[in-house]
Structure 1
Amino acid sequence: MADESAAAVDEGNVKCPPCEEGLPGWMATFSDLVTLLLTFFVLLLSFAKTETAKYEAALGSIRNAFGGNVLQQGEVIQKGKSPDNFPTMMESQTPIRPFPIEFLTMEGILDKHEINRGSDESLKNMRYDLKEFNLNENVTVYEQAEGIAVRLKDKIYFKRGSVEIDSNKIAVSSYQRMINLLKKRNWKVFVIGHAARGEVSRDGKSDALELSSARATAVTKSLIRRGVAPERISTVFYGDTRLTDLPGSSQMEVDRENRKVVFLIRKRDLEDNGHKVDAQ
């Protein structure tokens, strides 16, 4: 018994060997792993095109899927909310429209699907095409919700009451350059016909709407004869419902300005089905 007690006392007095200074070895490996992961995600973020609106919409879609509403951030003007019934700034109560949940799937990411813009709707590439065909100084470029629209500054004008072209007011060179672009690049064109206010045909049988239709149709046929594929052309006519006003000009000059066909060229046709969503 005495021997056992002595052994127990000796074991209690045994000291651990001194520990090495610094963190344990496994911490170095763990730190390297975390650093590499952080670098990987930073690279992903640098390659991504960050758009606040899409981020908020995607967040709204996730929150909608798992329950809960997401509201737009920021203040808006609302009438009748103050004691004196004057407009005042209040927090927006408009829900964010949920982004299609399919976008967050792997298939959506691989297809580079965007809700309102085709993958070829690159402003940089479009500018390159316009410059290559010497059209960059003859167009006005607009960014819209549905994509990028390019309006040709030069128009085709017509004589009053007919589809006969006013030869004194036509820019043949820019018209031909646009045709070359449509033939060699994947662009679409909208041929848009107009008429002057109250304009009728010379024989009195056609009103402004029919005249604008005939003018747009004539220009469309001209494009097809010159080699533009019909599926790249959309023909539109407005009659005298969308007039161009010229402040300080005479009525004759205003009427002359509105007897025209204008061109809108873009990468996407608005008749494309786009992304199908649930109607409910």
Structure 2
Amino acid sequence: MAVRPRHRPKVRAGTPAWLVTFADLATLMLTFFILLLSFAEMDVEKYRAMANSMASAFGSGNVLADSVGGSPLTLIESDAVSLPRPDNSLADEPQFIDERSDDPAITEVPDGIVDLASRLITELEPEVAAQALSVNYDTRKVVIRFAEDATFRSGQAALKPGMVPIIERVVEVLASCTGDVLVAGYTDDRPIVSNRYRSNWDLAAARAVSVVHELVMNRALPAQRVTAAGRAETNPLVPNDSPENRARNRRVEIAIRDPACQDSIPSSKLPVEILP
């Protein structure tokens, strides 16, 4: 008797094995780009700087604003550059009054301080106009004051990426000048809630160190010239009685004491009135 061959069932073609790997890869790539998009943020400072530049080009007044929440700084006209008048908020040391003047509110600012302030304002004009920072001075020092919202994210000590090129421009100016550099971090009076920083002192010091690191990283400034200090809620610019005032008190300051710049043209020591 003949044996009939057994019928083999047809095998249907399934999903190729490579398609599962491809689908996983596509999903991971999509997740990665969504994560990048979530970290993106609009560069508000550049937009403000552009807007202020256009306003200036169309004939706006010659007035610069102080840091966030601050009042405008009156400018003094000179042959070289317009400078804000000396700032009494920097008076952590006694003011040196010109005894030759009959008016005790009139003092002479050393040429080195006026020269350095002029260079910084010229170099950082877009940032000053955008209120990301301000340049102030008195008879002993020049202070660059950075607003917190332009420099750090809330509760963090890492500089925003946009601050690095600004500090590099500050270094270019300071490299041609002498004078000790003190970087101080300040906070408001509210206690910090953080697993990383024990107190406002920790956060203020960490922010000062972040700025110091950028100042000395390329060795343009000798490290022995620079000091970091955390001052927490001490020395507030204004009372901590409103969100706007607290925002103004959260800041980082770079103070250059008794500066003298190279290739400077000595100016006559004109009396400068210190605003109350």
Query: Which TM class, normalised by the smaller chain length?
Result: 0.3 to 0.5
Query: What is the TM-score with the length of structure 1 in the denominator?
Result: 0.42
